[in-house]
Amino acid sequence: MNTADLGLPVDVPSTALFTDQYELTMLQAALKAGTGARRSVFEVFTRRLPEGRRYGVVAGTGRVLDAVENFRFDAGVLGFLRERNIVDEATLEWLSGYRFSGDIWGYPEGEVYFPGSPILRVEGSFAECVLLETVILSILNHDSAIAAAASRMSSAAGDRPLIEMGARRTHELAAVAASRAAYVGGFATTSDLAAGFRYGIPTVGTSAHAFTLLHDNERDAFRAQVDSLGRGTTLLVDTYDVTEAVRMAVEVAGPDLGAVRIDSGDLLLVAHRVRQQLDELGATNTRIVVTSDLDEYAIASLRAAPVDAYGVGTQLVTGSGHPTCSMVYKLVARAHSADLKAPLEPVAKKSLGAKSSMGGRKWAARRTDAYGVAEAEVVGTGAVPPELADRQLLVELVKGGQVVAREPLDAVRDRHAAARAGLPLSATQLSRGEAVIPTEYL
């Protein structure tokens, strides 16, 4: 199945209203002033990483491309804007034919980023680019936050697989996006069927405590599940007494039982005891899956435990304490007139505090040491130094309004694994620290 043909999993006619009202009022004023057609360059970046994080993860780019393609003002949307008197008739007429016709460049999805990295660059007229600000930031801030948390968790887990199971802890549509971002960050499977349908992510799931409680006793529940799903299923063993449940699980399924799941208690201690008991019962190949409000620190603390897989929900879909990346979408260059040949002029916000920005259309490259390990993120506005020419990070995503870089999600996931592996080893430390490499400006 080509999931890109499914459209967006939302019950709205387009993505055009996934925006803030001031995008449209700015548009109206710019069109009236005659400045809306000025060629402009907007960039997405973040001034800092969330506290304690060593790197960020670019995620949601594929969803951004979908959103740009579906940014259309149909009759229903125009009627809503007219009824609320949000913009005037001249602006409504302009919006009725809206199609983004510019260019978008960006870090490829799955790549890592640092403070100041020009993660996305949107070029076109001011009028057509300014409308995309809110929806782009909405997607990138959410998905990149989840992917960063997932990356830390998958690093802590090592070779042990991670199951995304946070659908019940967030908005139903955010859950689908979170599952996708988690897969980019290194998770192996999801419990969310909508994510499996939309993005082809492998799905898993067996039973909850309610299934055990439904039956007259635990043995009957285990028997019903094994009869239905086979001996390779995963039995939940902490509804009553874990030791008795493990014994009963092996009696019912035999030594070929696929796995047992532990969802409460001292997971480190219980996992050791369960592993010993399973081995004594001859179920040496039966795996142990642990859940119970895990985060990257809990996963790291279980490295010494005989755990085979982790299920993560709440902490993942909330970004493990950092649900946004604080990305911004800023105008960095614009022409002085609507003439397509007019040169671009750098522009930037100048303000007190930490909200100033650097003007100019930027490039970015990652400098590496003699061993191929990243040592600096280099960002500039002039000519690219010859030694960095083959290390540039931005790739073309949209050309003349047409998407040119859609790719399979597995390719994105593999890219992230490679990008993380190319960072200094301290990048995966869970202790608090600054960005693992500095950002240098030329």
**What is residue 11's predicted lDDT score, i.e. its pLDDT?**
47
**What is residue 2's predicted lDDT score, i.e. its pLDDT?**
46
β-pair partners for 179 = none
Instruction: Give me the architecture of the 159-319 domain, per CATH.
Output: Alpha-Beta Barrel (3.20)
CA angle 194, 415, 47 (to 5 degrees): 90
Parse the chain into domains and list their residue ranges: 3-131+327-441, 159-319
Cα 206 from Cα 304, distance rounded (Å):
26
Does residue 373 contact residue 77 with C-beta atoms inside 8 Å?
A: no
List CB contacts of 425: < 8 A, sequence separation 6 or more: none
**What is residue 432's predicted lDDT score, i.e. its pLDDT?**
83
**What is residue 267's predicted lDDT score, i.e. its pLDDT?**
97
Cα 329 from Cα 138, distance rounded (Å):
11
**What is residue 330's predicted lDDT score, i.e. its pLDDT?**
97
**What is residue 433's predicted lDDT score, i.e. its pLDDT?**
87
Cα 245 from Cα 121, distance rounded (Å):
56
Q: Residue 102 is which amino acid?
A: G
For residue 62, which of 407, 370, 372, 392 has the smallest C-alpha distance?
Answer: 407
For residue 96, which of 77, 124, 68, 83 has the smallest C-alpha distance?
Answer: 77
List CB contacts of 299: < 8 A, sequence separation 6 or more: 153, 156, 157, 310, 312
**What is residue 14's predicted lDDT score, i.e. its pLDDT?**
85
**What is residue 202's predicted lDDT score, i.e. its pLDDT?**
98
pTM: 0.94
List of the chain residues with pLDDT < 50? 1-5, 8-12
Longest dimension (CA), the chain: 80
Query: Which run of H or E residues covers position 40?
Result: strand 39-45
Does residue 184 contact residue 409 with C-beta atoms inside 8 Å?
A: yes
Beta strands in 226-351 (DSSP E): 234-236, 259-262, 287-290, 309-312, 328-335, 344-346
**What is residue 357's predicted lDDT score, i.e. its pLDDT?**
79
Domain 3-131+327-441 CATH assignment equals 3.20.140.10: yes
